Amino acid sequence: MRSMTQPTDPAQSAAGNSAKTTSQNSGAALSGNQTRTVLVVEDEKALAMGIEDALNHAGFQASSVHDGQKALDRIRAEKPDLIVLDLMLPSLNGIDVLRSLRKDGVRSRVVILTAMATEEDLVRGLEAGADDYMKKPFSPRELVARVEAQFRREQMDHRPADVLNLPAGITVDLARLEVHRDGEVVPLTPREADILAYLIQHRDRVVTREDLLLDVWHYKSANIETRTVDIHIVGLRRKVEPDAAHPTLIQTVRGKGYRWYDA
């Protein structure tokens, strides 16, 4: 389904932009001597080819598929290291693909692509288990940077198991990525666990959005226009706050960022 308009041919744009930075970024595509695999799930074939070319130029082993059900079958069989997932797909939409994968225990990192503009749509994707998102139209160069950031985060994430006992009988198991509340088990995404651990670790100060982009997302620069931090905070509050409409644990400091308060 065509859901965006690129200002230039996507394949040429992706290849051209990525070629400029291949020599700088190719190391991020490797884990030891193994090339990282990325599956691009996008039904617009020209765009999928452009993304695939950009990722291959950056040193990843990228391939693409253009149908939701076929993507689900292929991911289950091949277990790619990361998935670039469009939400608007034939046969099975991206949210359903993602929910099925997380239910099956597939832990591949996921960056969703969306032309949807509402915050609720983005929250649904993140709550289903996505690690990051990009809105269409986007720069292939930025997409490559975000994919690299995901792998840097994975390499640096050696956090020990930890269980948090919060007000209202809420328990968070960071190792199992679970929130236990009201007799139910609510899944926690890896990114939400990263944010929560970071806020608690730095509870003595206000954590800015820039801090989170640089230290949790591991972007090379925080000088990008994105609401990804705010969207993740909304989803995290729904899971760990006794009353998400009136948060007391993850407090907003106007004009600054967020702080953790559990005194």
pLDDT digits (tens, 9 = 90+) for 46-76: 999 999 999 999 999 999 999 999 999 999 9
For CATH 1.10.10.10, list the domain ranges present in the chain: 163-260
The pTM for the full model equals: 0.59
H helices of 26-134, in order, are: 45-57, 68-78, 94-103, 119-127
Residue 172, C-beta contacts closer than 8 angstroms, at least 6 positions apart: 163, 164, 166, 178, 179, 180, 188, 196, 240
What is the fold of 163-260? Arc Repressor Mutant, subunit A (1.10.10)
Q: pLDDT tens-digit profile of 156-196?
A: 554 444 788 999 999 999 888 999 999 999 999 999 999 99
Q: What is the mean pLDDT of the chain?
A: 83
Please, where in the chain does CATH 3.40.50.2300 lie?
Answer: 10-156
At the fourth CATH level, which superfamily is domain 10-156? Response regulator (3.40.50.2300)
The phi and psi torsions of 212 (rounded to 5 degrees) equal -65, -40
